[in-house]
Chains A and B, each alone.
Chain A
Amino acid sequence: MSEPILEMRNITKTFPGVRALSDVSFRVARGEIHCLVGENGAGKSTLMKVLSGVYPHGSYEGEILLSGSPQRFRGIADSERAGIGIIYQELALVPDMTVYDNILLGHELRSGVTVDLNGTIKKATEMLAKVRLQLDPSTKVRDLGVGKQQLVEIAKALSRDVKLLILDEPTAALNEDDCDNLLDILRGLRRDGVTCIMISHKLKEVIRIADTVTVLRDGRTVRTLDAGKGEVSEGILIQHMVGREIDDVYPKRTSKKFGDVVLEARNWTVYSHGLGRTVLKDVNFTVRRGEIVGFAGLMGSGRTELARSVFGNPDGYRVEGELLVEGRPVRFGDPRAAIDAGVAYASEDRKRNGLILIQDVKQNITLANLRALAARGVVDGNAETKVAEDYRSALSIKTPSIDQKVLNLSGGNQQKVSVAKWLFVRPKVLILDEPTRGIDVGAKYEIYTLMNKLVAEGMSIVMISSELPEVLGMSDRVYIVSTGRITGELPVEEADQEKIMRLATS
């Protein structure tokens, strides 16, 4: 191997109560695509934050060498200057600014004291071409889908002459087409000599794209595998990640017994004032007791709007049609009413509207059902602690204590907290919007097992997911949503990826 572009030696990083990285060494060869995998909380994001200077020199132990020369970054500005670009787990674009302004944000082209508008647009257009994104650079970022926003992020990084591009779970929120496209673009960058480090929980795509894979577990490097030598396969990766084998990604249901219809919508039509259009039209669906109902469809097909309009309509859409819970017509004025009637909704965007990041694990878990822990309005602190501890161990939430702020948890563990919150409500119907986004294989398996257990106990689950294998692996029945209409309903035995894709794009 030629001299590595990056070498991190014996990196140790501790937070109060947590050793996130211990003695990690990490080498990346010039021009390769290097994937970093590991369970939630393994330390992947932390390692990349050490590399990019988010955690400055002195706040960790160990050495960073770029092309052989030691680096001491005091902040992101330093690492940027050294040619490192990082795209975080959560997108960092300004939604109300144009694409070209976003791309050049922080590095504005100037003519005199003013911003050189034409130059900016020209440069932005060049960068967009590099990521093969054809769009008017004066579009507002808000109006783009997640897939395109992701590409704009990459374009933004490229505009700064990066030599080493870090992508933290770039495909977590993307559908398959957008994923394929992104992987293609990374291959293109490799041809142009850019080195990429990609973090991902989607092992299939890791196998497709990686030249080398490094596996982290519990803050240590477990193994570095060379794809060229055929060392990378899903089984091997899983084994190194979780330390044991998982034969079946989707646990088997022991019994399938469905009861009466618990939730039903008839001619559900939703009009959004914000978007100025009808987002759902004449939607009919039923959910039976003990059933897992999957909702498949493309990003933006209206599944989240459907869930939110059912769940007390916090967005203030104009809603027509009928909703029945256990056969009785209902009309929820707000989420509280829906929760009280036994309908719960775990949102897809946990950071924005799922969790209260500055509060601790305990407070987040109990928030939606505090009344159950209170007598005459006073919260019973001991009971609360007990509940939180129970869910922490039931879902194996990885945190030094339930007093830890959710902010400090790894992405996957945050997701578990948000699921725990809704389990504590003990709903009749639990709507899970992208429940395993950003979750590692082991934890996914735990969440699936939990879902199976819940339906066995008589709960019903609505699962909105953009990952077709997951929909097929977990659901009993699948509805396919396309541009605000239900275009198909299939028992899972009759469903396959191809059929669903056809219906989803019709």
Chain B
Amino acid sequence: MILKDLRSALRSNIREYGMYIALVVIMGIFTIATQGIFISSRNIANLLNQTGYIAILAIGITLVIVIRHIDLSIGFLSGFLGAVAAIAMTAWGVSTWIAILIVLVLGTLAGLLTGYLVAGVGIPAFVASLAGWLIYRGALLTVTLKTGTIIIPNEDFNAIGNGYIPDILPADTAFLPELHKLTLLLGILAIVWLNVRAFQERASRQKYGLEVLPGDMFALKQLFLSVVLSLITWVVAGYNGMSWTLAIVIVVALIYNFVTTRTVLGRHIYAVGGNPEAAELSGVSVKKITLTVFGSMGMLCGLSGVLFASRLQSATTTAGTLFELDAIAAAYIGGVSAAGGVGKVTGSIVGAIVYMSLTSGMNLLGTDISLQYIIRGAVLVAAVIFDVQTRKAKS
């Protein structure tokens, strides 16, 4: 009985679960191959910190792809904005927070400019953002020309990419000595919250007679989710606790997930992606939505630039190289569709983790870099094939 339910639930949600299964499989393989090093708290913490700046870009590019456009300029824009932050702090002497603010505002403006070229002037996004790619690359080289790498001395800035959230109890307390207590607490709260939400959601759908997972399947799914989250919490808490990067990614993800799933703006974005003409005739301004989405992309470039610069504690001449492709790959692994209107922010974050797990695992194994590229390419294609096939089977 349960098995049969499980099979049918898996089959009808295969696309969504497939990615999680893939993640577990990939992590499993690397854990075995590295004799457990991969799953160690230290490595996972590192992995999540590395994923940060790509995950942020992946969130933004997901929405861009959902509305049927693309943005190639995000890598170098992020690199350039990181350099601007460094210059603001070192040469102009502004504080960390002002520097970050400047970068976010500049990023938004840059995004709006691309958006204007696309929505207002009618240039294909591919071309407009390719121009951006060239321009921001040139800009990055220009600002780092004199000095080369700019070392960032601000400690609070560098903590963003390297530091961890403080703990509520001192580390030498007898209670769970090895673990970061605040991280544990946050993890537990998250698990409780997720379960309560899922339960409420289910109850309200039932009230309206809408289709829900059968009871045992629902319980199984929540149990599985809770176990996975507990494991992640445990692992993360085992090494310094939650990093600032991870905290930022989680906050951004929560905000974007909320906006895309619950708000009018989010619904309008998916409507424009699903059928721009119908959306326009329904009173949704395609132009405004396009500007908003590109503007948000630019802002996230600023954030990602900050994360990367602070992680390296410096701005380099090559910062941002190929970030755009990593982010796009993450979004596609996460299930966004180029035909428009389909793709979740959460999917893209998991996509980013899958993608970075590959990199991290192969680095641990000492896989040759040339082979790494080939494997990453193969995984990308496999993910999209899977996506296309499951979509076909469903309709």
Stretch at the interface among B44-52, B144-152, B278-286, B381-389: B278-286
Q: Report the separation of the CA atoms of residues A94 and B263 in the bound assembly, to the nearest whole angstrom.
A: 37
| Contact (Cβ within 8 A) A374 B263 | yes
| Contact (Cβ within 8 A) B271 A403 | no
Chain B residues numbered 303-318 whose CB sits less than 8 Å from any CB in chain A = none
Say whether, besides A377-B263, A377-B264, A339 and B274 are in contact (CB < 8 Å).
no
Chain B residues numbered 279-296 whose CB sits less than 8 Å from any CB in chain A = 279-285
B192: chain A residues at CB < 8 Å are none
| Contact (Cβ within 8 A) A339 B210 | no
Q: How far is the CB of B292 from chain A (nearest CB, A)?
A: 12
| Contact (Cβ within 8 A) A335 B211 | no
Q: How far is the CB of B74 from chain A (nearest CB, A)?
A: 26
| Contact (Cβ within 8 A) A314 B264 | no
Which of A311, A358, A377 is the one whose CB lies under 8 Å from B265? A377
A356: chain B residues at CB < 8 Å are 271, 274-275, 278-279, 341
Is B262 interfacial (CB 8 A cutoff)? Answer: yes
Q: Report the separation of the CA atoms of residues A209 and B98 in the bound assembly, to the nearest whole angstrom.
A: 78
A353: chain B residues at CB < 8 Å are 275, 277-278, 280-281
| Contact (Cβ within 8 A) A314 B281 | yes
Is B267 interfacial (CB 8 A cutoff)? Answer: yes
| Contact (Cβ within 8 A) B341 A367 | no
Chain A residues numbered 276-317 whose CB sits less than 8 Å from any CB in chain B = 311, 314
Say whether, besides A334-B285, A335-B281, A353-B277, A359 and B271 are in contact (CB < 8 Å).
yes
| Contact (Cβ within 8 A) A374 B264 | yes
| 12 additional A-B residue pairs with CB within 8 Å, beyond A353-B281, A370-B264, A378-B262 | A334-B283, A335-B281, A336-B283, A340-B283, A353-B275, A353-B278, A356-B274, A357-B274, A359-B274, A370-B268, A379-B262, A379-B263
| Contact (Cβ within 8 A) A359 B262 | no
Q: How far is the CB of B283 from chain A (nearest CB, A)?
A: 4
Is B23 interfacial (CB 8 A cutoff)? Answer: no
Is A52 interfacial (CB 8 A cutoff)? Answer: no
Stretch at the interface among A103-111, A178-186, A246-254, A382-390: A382-390
B264: chain A residues at CB < 8 Å are 370-371, 374, 377-379
Q: How far is the CB of A58 from chain B (nearest CB, A)?
A: 13
A352: chain B residues at CB < 8 Å are 277-278
Q: Report the separation of the CA atoms of residues A370 and B264 in the bound assembly, to the nearest whole angstrom.
A: 6
Say whether, besides A358-B342, A377-B264, A367 and B208 are in contact (CB < 8 Å).
no
* Chain A interfacial residues counted at CB < 8 A: 40
Considering the complex, give the chain A residue whose CB is closest to the CB of B395. Answer: A407
Is A195 interfacial (CB 8 A cutoff)? Answer: no
Is A368 interfacial (CB 8 A cutoff)? Answer: yes
Is B76 interfacial (CB 8 A cutoff)? Answer: no
Which of A17, A358, A368, A408 is the one whose CB lies under 8 Å from B282? A368
| Contact (Cβ within 8 A) A385 B283 | no
The proximity string for A residues 146-188 relative to B, scoring 1 for CB distances below 8 Å and 0 otherwise, is 0000000000000000000000000000000000000000000
Chain A residues numbered 7-56 whose CB sits less than 8 Å from any CB in chain B = 16-17
Name 14 A/B residue pairs within 8 A (Cβ), A-sorted: A311-B281, A314-B277, A335-B282, A336-B284, A340-B283, A359-B274, A359-B341, A367-B267, A367-B279, A370-B268, A381-B262, A389-B208, A408-B395, A421-B282
Q: How far is the CB of A498 from chain B (nearest CB, A)?
A: 35
- The 8 A-B residue pairs with the shortest CB-CB distance in the complex, in nearest-first order: A353-B277, A356-B274, A336-B283, A368-B282, A339-B283, A356-B275, A367-B282, A385-B208
Considering the complex, give the chain A residue whose CB is closest to the CB of B287. Answer: A334
Considering the complex, give the chain B residue whose CB is closest to the CB of A369. Answer: B283
Chain A residues numbered 166-220 whose CB sits less than 8 Å from any CB in chain B = none
| Contact (Cβ within 8 A) B267 A363 | yes
The proximity string for A residues 114-147 relative to B, scoring 1 for CB distances below 8 Å and 0 otherwise, is 0000000000000000000000000000000000
| Contact (Cβ within 8 A) A17 B211 | yes
Is A4 interfacial (CB 8 A cutoff)? Answer: no
Is A342 interfacial (CB 8 A cutoff)? Answer: no
Q: Report the separation of the CA atoms of residues A389 and B267 in the bound assembly, to the nearest whole angstrom.
A: 19
Q: Report the separation of the CA atoms of residues A183 and B264 in the bound assembly, to the nearest whole angstrom.
A: 48
Q: Report the separation of the CA atoms of residues A408 and B284 in the bound assembly, to the nearest whole angstrom.
A: 24
Most buried by A among B265, B268, B283, B284: B283
The proximity string for A residues 334-375 relative to B, scoring 1 for CB distances below 8 Å and 0 otherwise, is 111011100001010000111111110001000110110010
Q: How far is the CB of A278 from chain B (nearest CB, A)?
A: 23
| Contact (Cβ within 8 A) A358 B341 | yes
